[in-house]
């Protein structure tokens, strides 16, 4: 009965609501649901933090601070392993993979599982952020809502973008950042049909977030100085520094993650290694506890000493370095914050690698603020007199631009997060230069790196996107008649008379490809009956110019066609069993079809 009602509802929608109007309506609900999900995640994190601080931690210097992150990671790991039973880490990467390889389908459990996993991880003090999990949640809401209404792949992709835009708008109260994040990071094309739904989702989520949590920005800016033209060179230097630190962040985190994934297989050993590492780092560097947002607030408002937390250095620094000379005090302070920059990626990898669930939004903002502060303090020691609060603020934009390869996201997100709209010029300078700097060394963001290595990444290059969306099974031709090596020329002639093709794959009795036989190669002898028993297929067959694996990305397939100059190539599985042929003309036809479909306004 429910299925019948559901089918009738879909049929009624098809007759009474056009797809264009349905997309606009769904974008509103996707934005609203994403904002609610963001509010739920924030509330869940704050509830756990309140429980931890009030029930477990009475003294700020207690050892519980070293234990609670491990508790959170363990609970999250058990939740993922025994309840979700699926990988929910690396949220943005999973969205990119769904768009390029899964026809924009995201599993339904992602609408809630990331909230629980990241809430447990971050609420107990894991050194990661909640933003990537909530973006995956929003994208999953968009994907499954579109799937429920039986919309096509192109529209599902748009709904994923709406969910991501709504999630960013909802959790950061940043509607413009939600839009540009979707365009820059998720590689959505900016067309008139896509910009309106994305804006609706982002604005709806932000408005609902205002209603639920107030209109104050996440990091209110109290002490920023106005932008001065003569400081442009120093902002340019900061942009280069942010780009280089972004490179360290990207490559360092990727290598650490790969090491932890491949070197430690046992779940409990991962928990032990990750938990001990995180506890030691938090003991030495208390600012690494949790998201680090309180440290950001302190740095952008000029309270760098409070940002030290309860560090082992506090007894030496709490009187502003009374026991040290002024110069040595500054050196110790800078060395301490520099060490935090270096070890933040270790703390984040230890959190996620051990089984926690979290993203790199918060770590990039945290490191960016410290990079800006450290750079400004060094410049001030050199007598340049630059505002440390401004540098901490624009440093966040610089690092986010470099790590995510998204300068517009960095600019608008930090402006909206802090209300620092009067600092648009330094935000643009630092973000753009940071992006250009990292692009010299690393063509892909941390999110895209794994997919790019597998040829599974959508980019802003439409030709590559179309090839990525094409799958081998959609271009595979299987109407070729197979022949055996021991067949005689006479038997081959009978096969040729029944075939509409001029290529014949030669396979053995196990179905493995041995070679191919071209009609042109036997045309001069096929009408000579006296030779019918003299020659066999094994004597006449040739090796193909190349053999394609079924799991080969389409971009690699086209490269093989270009390198060999062939028009038809055989396809095999991993055991070299023959599957069919792919022709360049079939790929071109499919390419044109997909290009037209995804380019329609």
Overall size of the chain counted in residues? 601
Q: Model pTM?
A: 0.77
pLDDT of 506 = 92
DSSP β-bridge partners for residue 350: none
Mapped onto helix, strand or coil, the DSSP state of residue 437 is: helix
Query: Is pLDDT of 462 > 50?
Result: no
Domain 229-460 has CATH 1.10.3080.10: yes
Question: Quick one: DSSP state of residue 472?
Answer: H
In the sheet that holds 578-583, the strands lie side by side as: 548-549, 568-572, 578-583
CA–CA dist 536, 581 (Å, integer): 23
DSSP β-bridge partners for residue 359: 129
Of all residues in the chain, what percent carry a pLDDT higher than 90? 36
Q: Minimal CA–CA distance to 443: which of 431, 429, 430, 457?
A: 457
CA–CA dist 398, 551 (Å, integer): 38
Sign of the alpha-carbon torsion through 559, 563, 569, 570: negative
Mapped onto helix, strand or coil, the DSSP state of residue 17 is: coil
Where do you find CATH 1.10.3080.10 in the chain? 2-213, 229-460
Binned at pLDDT 50, 70 and 90, residue 460 comes out as: very low
CATH of 464-599, one of 3.10.580.10, 3.40.120.10, 3.40.50.970, 3.20.20.80: 3.10.580.10
Query: Is pLDDT of 277 > 50?
Result: yes
Where do you find CATH 3.10.580.10 in the chain? 464-599
Instruction: Tell me, rounded to whole angstroms, the distance of Cα 411 from its chain centroid.
Output: 19
Which strand (E) or helix (H) includes residue 569?
Answer: strand 568-572
> Where do the H-state alpha helices sit in 124-174?
131-148, 153-172
Name the percent of the chain in helix, strand, coil, to the closest 5.
Answer: 70, 5, 25
Mapped onto helix, strand or coil, the DSSP state of residue 515 is: strand
Contact 513, 547 (CB under 8 A): yes
Phi, psi of 483 (to 5 degrees): -135, 165
HSE, side-chain direction, 13 A CA sphere, residue 246: 42
Please, which residues have CB within 8 angstroms of residue 43's CB and are 6 or more apart in sequence? none
Q: Minimal CA–CA distance to 595: which of 552, 538, 537, 554?
A: 554
Assign a CATH topology to domain 2-213.
Clc chloride channel (1.10.3080)
Binned at pLDDT 50, 70 and 90, residue 601 comes out as: very low
Q: Minimal CA–CA distance to 40: which of 134, 140, 178?
A: 134
Q: Where in 268-312 does DSSP place strands (E)? A: none
Mapped onto helix, strand or coil, the DSSP state of residue 482 is: coil
CA–CA dist 67, 275 (Å, integer): 8
When mean pLDDT is compared across 116-120, 173-177, 381-385, 458-462, the lowest value belongs to 458-462
pLDDT tens digits, one per residue of 358-369:
888 899 999 999
Query: Is pLDDT of 564 > 70?
Result: yes
Binned at pLDDT 50, 70 and 90, residue 236 comes out as: very high
CA–CA dist 96, 188 (Å, integer): 11
Please, which residues have CB within 8 angstroms of residue 201's CB and are 6 or more apart in sequence? 27, 28, 30, 31, 34, 142, 162, 163, 165, 166, 169, 178
Backbone dihedral region for residue 68 (phi beyond 0: left; psi -120 to 50: alpha; all else: beta):
alpha
pLDDT, greater one: 421 or 135: 135
pLDDT of 495 = 87
CA dihedral 368, 371, 374, 379 (to 10 degrees): -110
pLDDT of 314 = 62
pLDDT of 233 = 94
Mean pLDDT, residues 147-170 taken together = 88
Mean pLDDT, residues 420-427 taken together = 89
Binned at pLDDT 50, 70 and 90, residue 34 comes out as: very high
């Amino acid at each position: 009965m429910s299925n019948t009602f559901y089918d009738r509802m879909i049929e009624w929608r098809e007759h009474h609501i056009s797809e264009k109007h349905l997309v606009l309506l769904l974008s509103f609900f996707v934005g609203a649901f994403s904002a609610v999900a963001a509010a739920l995640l924030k509330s869940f994190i704050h509830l756990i933090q309140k429980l931890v601080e009030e029930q477990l931690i009475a003294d700020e210097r207690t050892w519980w601070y070293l234990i609670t992150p491990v508790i959170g990671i363990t609970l999250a790991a058990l939740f993922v392993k025994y309840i979700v039973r699926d990988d929910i880490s690396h949220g943005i990467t999973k969205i990119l993979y769904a768009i390029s390889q899964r026809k924009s389908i995201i599993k339904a459990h992602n609408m809630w599982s990331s909230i629980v996993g990241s809430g447990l991880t971050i609420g107990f003090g894991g050194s990661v952020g909640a933003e990537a999990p909530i973006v995956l949640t929003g994208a999953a809401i968009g994907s499954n809502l579109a799937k429920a209404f039986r919309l096509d792949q192109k529209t599902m992709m748009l709904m994923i973008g709406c969910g991501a835009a709504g999630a960013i708008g909802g959790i950061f109260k940043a509607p413009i950042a939600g839009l540009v994040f979707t365009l820059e990071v998720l590689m959505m094309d900016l067309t008139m049909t896509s910009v309106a739904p994305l804006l609706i989702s982002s604005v709806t989520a932000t408005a609902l977030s205002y209603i639920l949590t107030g209109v104050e920005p996440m990091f209110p800016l109290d002490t920023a100085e106005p932008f001065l033209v003569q400081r442009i060179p120093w902002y340019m230097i900061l942009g280069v520094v942010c780009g280089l630190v972004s490179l360290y962040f990207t490559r360092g985190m990727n290598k650490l993650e790969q090491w932890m994934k491949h070197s430690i297989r046992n779940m409990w050993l991962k928990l032990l290694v990750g938990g001990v590492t995180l506890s030691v780092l938090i003991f030495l560097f208390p600012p690494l506890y949790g998201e680090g947002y309180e440290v950001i607030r302190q740095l952008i408002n000029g309270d760098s000493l409070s940002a030290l937390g309860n560090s082992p250095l506090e007894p030496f620094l709490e009187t502003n370095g009374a026991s040290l000379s002024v110069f040595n005090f500054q050196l110790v302070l800078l060395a301490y914050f520099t060490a935090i920059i270096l070890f933040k990626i270790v703390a984040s990898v230890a959190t996620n690698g051990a089984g926690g669930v979290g993203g790199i939004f918060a770590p990039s903002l945290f490191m960016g603020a410290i990079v800006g502060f450290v750079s400004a303090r060094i410049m001030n020691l050199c007598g340049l007199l630059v505002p440390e609060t401004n540098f901490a603020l624009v440093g966040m934009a610089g690092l986010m631009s470099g790590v995510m390869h998204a300068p517009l996201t960095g600019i608008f997100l930090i402006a909206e997060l802090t209300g620092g709209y009067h600092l648009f010029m330094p935000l643009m300078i630092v973000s753009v230069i940071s992006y250009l700097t990292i692009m010299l060394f690393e063509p892909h963001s941390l999110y895209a790196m794994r997919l790019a290595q597998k040829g599974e990444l959508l980019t802003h290059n439409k030709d590559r996107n179309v090839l990525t969306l094409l799958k081998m099974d959609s271009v595979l031709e299987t109407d070729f008649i197979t022949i055996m090596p021991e067949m005689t020329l006479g038997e081959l002639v009978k096969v040729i008379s029944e075939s509409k093709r001029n290529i014949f794959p030669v396979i053995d009795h196990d179905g493995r490809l041995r070679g191919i036989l071209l009609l042109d190669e036997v045309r001069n002898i096929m009408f000579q009956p006296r030779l019918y028993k003299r020659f066999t297929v094994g004597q006449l067959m040739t090796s193909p110019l190349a053999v394609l694996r079924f799991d080969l990305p389409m971009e690699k397939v086209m490269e093989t066609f270009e390198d060999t100059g062939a028009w038809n190539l055989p396809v095999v599985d991993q055991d070299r069993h023959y599957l069919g042929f792919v022709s360049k003309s079939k790929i071109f036809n499919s390419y044109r079809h997909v290009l037209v479909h995804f380019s329609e306004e």
